[in-house]
C-alpha cells in the first residue's frame, strides 16, 4: 500500500491540517493500492497563501529563466517517464501501451510546445504612444480529471509556469498519484517554492474553497458540465477568470464519398480508445441511411477486434473504466439504449466474457439510433458507440449540431467536401479524415462544452492579463 497522504505546499511535503484518509482503487482489481488524504479549506488557504507570496518574485522572472526551468522539467520528466506510465495504468486502468504512447507522452508534448511558444512570444508591443503589455494573471487554481490526468495537468501547469503565474492543483481524488509524481518532478527541476502547490481532495472539500478563494485570480477546470457550472458559480463572487473544458457528445459525420471501411473502422477504434473515457470521443457516428447496414457490419467486425483485459497484459486493447461509479452509470445507459429500442449490434450490459473482476465494460455498439434517444444525448463516457442514419447532408449537419455540447467533431469524405461540412459544425475542434491531435492547436468547446481554450498559443494566453500604458513612448 503506497502512502501518499502528504500535500506539496511551499516547496515541502506537509501533513494535512486534518487527517482524512482515502483509498485509491486499482480499477482492474477493485482493490485499494494507495492512500491519500482528502484536504480541506484550511489546506487550500495554506497553499494559496504560498502561491500568492511566490507570485511576487516569480512573476518578475525573465523569459530566459522560465525557459531554463521548463527545459529542466522536461529533462526530469523524461527520467521519470516509466514511473508515470505505470502509475497512470494502475490508478485509472489505461493499458500500458496507451499509457506509454499517449497518456504520458502528452505531458512531454505540451511541455515542448510551451517552451517553443515562450521562446518567441511577444509580451509587449507599441501602438503609437501606448505600450500594450501582457502580464501573468496571478494565482491560478487548477481542478483536473482522472481520464487523461497528466495531459490535463500539464496543459495547464506548463503555460502557467511559462507566463509567470503561480498555482494550486487539485487533481482528481480517483487518480491522484500521477500528480504526486509531477510534484516530485517540479521539485527536482527547481521550481521555486510556492510556485506549484498540490492539495488532494474532493470537490466539496477542496474544489469549492479553491474556486471561490478571494486570492485566486483564475480557475481552470476540466471535468463534467455539471461540475463546471458549479465551479463557475463558486468563482462568480470574486469575479475571477474561469476557463472550462467540459463534456462532449461529438458527432462523426461519414459522408457519401468517404471510404466507408476506413472511416467506420477508424471511428469505432477511436471511440473505444481509453475505454471511451475521452470528452472529445466520436460517440455519435452519422452514416448515410442508404449505407447504414453496410456500416453496421463494418462496425460489428471492428468491435470484435477490441480486446478488453488486464492493462498490463500483452494484446489488451482497452482496460477497465475508472471506478465502480462509472461502471454502474455506463451499465445503466446501455440498458437505457436497449429499453428505448436502439439496435444492439455488439456488446451490451455486464462484463466481457472471462472477466469477473474489475470495472470492465463490453465494447458496445448501437445502430438505428435516433438523436432523441438518451444514448445519443447524454455523455456515456465508456466504450459505447451510437450509429445514426441520415437521409442527406443537410440532415447530417442538423443532427451533428443538435446537442448542448460542442467540444469536437469528425468528418470523413473527399477533402473539399469534408472541409465544407467541417465549417458548418458548431464545435471547437473538427478532425478531418482521421487527423490526429495537434499540440499547437487550440482545444476547447462551444456551448456547454466550456469556454476558453487550452493547448498552443491560445492556451498560453489564457494565463495573461492585458495592460495598456498610455503615453509610454511619448517624447
| Burial environment of residue 300 by CB neighbours within 10 A (0 to 12, 13 to 18, 19 or more) | middle
Q: What is the pLDDT of residue 3?
A: 98
Q: Which of 245, 379, 454, 462 is catalytic?
A: 245
Q: Is 153:110 a contact under the CB 8 Å cutoff?
A: no
Tell me the per-residue pLDDT of 10-38, one tens digit each, with 9 for 90 and over. Answer: 999 999 999 999 999 999 999 999 999 99
Q: What is the CA radius of gyration of the chain?
A: 23
Q: What is the pLDDT of residue 200?
A: 98
- Return the CATH superfamily for domain 251-439: Aldehyde Dehydrogenase; Chain A, domain 2 (3.40.309.10)
CA distance 16 to 40: 8
279 counts as catalytic: yes
C-alpha cell belonging to residue 204: 466539496
Q: What is the pLDDT of residue 48?
A: 99
| Every domain range in the chain assigned CATH 3.40.309.10 | 251-439
Tell me the per-residue pLDDT of 422-466, one tens digit each, with 9 for 90 and over. Answer: 999 999 999 999 999 999 999 999 999 999 999 999 999 999 999
Centre a 10 Å sphere on the Cβ of residue 100 and count the other Cβ atoms it contains. 18
SS3 labels along the chain: CEEECCEEECCEEECCCCCCEEEEEECCCCEEEEEEECCCHHHHHHHHHHHHHHHHHHCCCCHHHHHHHHHHHHHHHHHCHHHHHHHHHHHHCCCHHHHHHHHHHHHHHHHHHHHHHHHHCCCEEEECCEEEEEEECCEEEEECCCCCHHHHHHHHHHHHHHHCCEEEEECCCCCCHHHHHHHHHHHHHCCCCCCEEECCCCHHHHHHHHHCCCCCCEEEEECCHHHHHHHHHHHHCCCCEEEEECCCCCEEEECCCCCHHHHHHHHHHHHHHHHHCCCCCCCEEEEEHHHHHHHHHHHHHHHCCCCECCCCCCCCCECCCCCHHHHHHHHHHHHHHHHCCCEEEECCCCCCCCCCCCCCCCCEEEECCCCCCHHHHCCCCCCEEEEEEECCHHHHHHHHHCCCCCCCEEEECCHHHHHHHHCCCCCCCCEECCCCCCCCCCECCCHHHEECCECHHHHHHCCEEEEEECCCCCC
Tell me the per-residue pLDDT of 367-386, one tens digit each, with 9 for 90 and over. Answer: 999 999 999 999 999 999 99
Q: What is the pLDDT of residue 456?
A: 97
Cα 162–Cα 73–Cα 112 angle in degrees, nearest 5: 60
User: Mind listing the pLDDT tens digit of every residue in the chain (475 residues)?
Assistant: 999 999 999 999 999 999 999 999 999 999 999 999 999 999 999 999 999 999 999 999 999 999 999 999 999 999 999 999 999 999 999 999 999 999 999 999 999 999 999 999 999 999 999 999 999 999 999 999 999 999 999 999 999 999 999 999 999 999 999 999 999 999 999 999 999 999 999 999 999 999 999 999 999 999 999 999 999 999 999 999 999 999 999 999 999 999 999 999 999 999 999 999 999 999 999 999 999 999 999 999 999 999 999 999 999 999 999 999 999 999 999 999 999 999 999 999 999 999 999 999 999 999 999 999 999 999 999 999 999 999 999 999 999 999 999 999 999 999 999 999 999 999 999 999 999 999 999 999 999 999 999 999 999 999 999 999 999 998 7
Q: Which of 279, 379, 454, 462 is catalytic?
A: 279
| CATH architecture classification, 2-246+449-469 | 3-Layer(aba) Sandwich (3.40)
165 counts as catalytic: no
Contacts 24+ apart (CB under 8 A), 240-243: 240/216, 241/137, 241/217, 241/462, 242/218, 242/451, 242/452, 243/218, 243/219, 243/450, 243/451, 243/452, 243/453, 243/454, 243/462
C-alpha cell belonging to residue 38: 482528502
C-alpha cell belonging to residue 164: 509567470
Q: Is 446:100 a contact under the CB 8 Å cutoff?
A: no
Map grid coordinates 503615453 to a residue.
Answer: 471
pTM over 0.85: yes
Centre a 10 Å sphere on the Cβ of residue 416 and count the other Cβ atoms it contains. 8
Q: What is the pLDDT of residue 313?
A: 96
| Burial environment of residue 383 by CB neighbours within 10 A (0 to 12, 13 to 18, 19 or more) | buried
CA distance 260 to 337: 25
| Every domain range in the chain assigned CATH 3.40.605.10 | 2-246+449-469
CA distance 102 to 91: 16
CA distance 101 to 96: 8
Amino acid at each position: 500500500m503506497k502512502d501518499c497522504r502528504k500535500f506539496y505546499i511551499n516547496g515541502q511535503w506537509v501533513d494535512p491540517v486534518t487527517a482524512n484518509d482515502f483509498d485509491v482503487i486499482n480499477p482492474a482489481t477493485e482493490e485499494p493500492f494507495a492512500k491519500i488524504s482528502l484536504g480541506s479549506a484550511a489546506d487550500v488557504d495554506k497553499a494559496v497563501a504560498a502561491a500568492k507570496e511566490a507570485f511576487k518574485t516569480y512573476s518578475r522572472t525573465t523569459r530566459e529563466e522560465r525557459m531554463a526551468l521548463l527545459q529542466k522539467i522536461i529533462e526530469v520528466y523524461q527520467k521519470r517517464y516509466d514511473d508515470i506510465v505505470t502509475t497512470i495504468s494502475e490508478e485509472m486502468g489505461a493499458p500500458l501501451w496507451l499509457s506509454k504512447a499517449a497518456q504520458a507522452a502528452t505531458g512531454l508534448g505540451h511541455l515542448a510546445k510551451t517552451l517553443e511558444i515562450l521562446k518567441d512570444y511577444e509580451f509587449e508591443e507599441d501602438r503609437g504612444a501606448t505600450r500594450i503589455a501582457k502580464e501573468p494573471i496571478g494565482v491560478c487554481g487548477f481542478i483536473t480529471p482522472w481520464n487523461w490526468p497528466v495531459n490535463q495537468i500539464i496543459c495547464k501547469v506548463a503555460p502557467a509556469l511559462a507566463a509567470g503565474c503561480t498555482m494550486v492543483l487539485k487533481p482528481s481524488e480517483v487518480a491522484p498519484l500521477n500528480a504526486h509524481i509531477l510534484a516530485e518532478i517540479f521539485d527536482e527541476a527547481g521550481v521555486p517554492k510556492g510556485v506549484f502547490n498540490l492539495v488532494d481532495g474532493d470537490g466539496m472539500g477542496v474544489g469549492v474553497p479553491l474556486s471561490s478563494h478571494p486570492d485566486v485570480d483564475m480557475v481552470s477546470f476540466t471535468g463534467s458540465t455539471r461540475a463546471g457550472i458549479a465551479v463557475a458559480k463558486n468563482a462568480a463572487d470574486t469575479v475571477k477568470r474561469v476557463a472550462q473544458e467540459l463534456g462532449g457528445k461529438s458527432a462523426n459525420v461519414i459522408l457519401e464519398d468517404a471510404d466507408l471501411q476506413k472511416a467506420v473502422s477508424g471511428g469505432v477504434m477511436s471511440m473505444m480508445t481509453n475505454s471511451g473515457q475521452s470528452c472529445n470521443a466520436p460517440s455519435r457516428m452519422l452514416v448515410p441511411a442508404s449505407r447504414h447496414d453496410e456500416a453496421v457490419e463494418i462496425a460489428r467486425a471492428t468491435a470484435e477486434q477490441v480486446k478488453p483485459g488486464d492493462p498490463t497484459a500483452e494484446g489488451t486493447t482497452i482496460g477497465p473504466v475508472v471506478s465502480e461509479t462509472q461502471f454502474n452509470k455506463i451499465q445503466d445507459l446501455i440498458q437505457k439504449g436497449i429499453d428505448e429500442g436502439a439496435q444492439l449490434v455488439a456488446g451490451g450490459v455486464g462484463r466481457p466474457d472471462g472477466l469477473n473482476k474489475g470495472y470492465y465494460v463490453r465494447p458496445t455498439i448501437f445502430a438505428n439510433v435516433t438523436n432523441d434517444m438518451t444514448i445519443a444525448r447524454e455523455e456515456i463516457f465508456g466504450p459505447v458507440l451510437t450509429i445514426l442514419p441520415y437521409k442527406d447532408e443537410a440532415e447530417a449537419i442538423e443532427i451533428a449540431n443538435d446537442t448542448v455540447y460542442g467540444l469536437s467533431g469528425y468528418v470523413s469524405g473527399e477533402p473539399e467536401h469534408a472541409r465544407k461540412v467541417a465549417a458548418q459544425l458548431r464545435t471547437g475542434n473538427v478532425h478531418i479524415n482521421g487527423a490526429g491531435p495537434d499540440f499547437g492547436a487550440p482545444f476547447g468547446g462551444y456551448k456547454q462544452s466550456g469556454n476558453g481554450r487550452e493547448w498552443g498559443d491560445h492556451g498560453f494566453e489564457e494565463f495573461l492579463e492585458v495592460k495598456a500604458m498610455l503615453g509610454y513612448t511619448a517624447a
